[in-house]
Structure 1
Amino acid sequence: MPRERACRNCRSLVAGNKCENCGSTGLTSSYAGLLILISPGNSEIAKLLGIERPGRYALKIE
């Protein structure tokens, strides 16, 4: 299984060549930390990062 890449625009982790969350093609394999959001509306971390959709996200993009 290929390593997921992080979208530089929205931090979403994706397996393909295009972000399924925002449509960006600016992806990187250089990231640290993993955030899994199930209910972003109830998450203080999601509010701080500006994340509105459930999914897997990178905490730090290098």
Structure 2
Amino acid sequence: MTRTRTLRIDRIACTGQGLCAELLPELIDLDEWGYPIAGDPAVPDRLRTHARRAVAACPRLALHTDDDPA
């Protein structure tokens, strides 16, 4: 069974510091107030390591990855 990793942003916990967009610009943009926007939540295999680093670096623990069965 193949698993797809998806990216989730907890908008309540996020304070808009923007570190996630700096570490994972391929998947995360910032809105006009500095809060993250993830267009497609699917994390490609080539970006999994970067996604894990961005999740670990989030100062508010507002960024998460989940494995979903494909």
Q: More relative contact order in 1 or in 2 (CA 8 Å, sep 6+)?
A: 2
User: Do the two structures share a fold, i.e. TM-score over 0.5?
Assistant: no
Q: What range describes the TM-score normalised by the shorter chain of this pair?
A: under 0.3
Question: TM-score when scaled to structure 2?
Answer: 0.25
Question: TM-score when scaled to structure 1?
Answer: 0.27
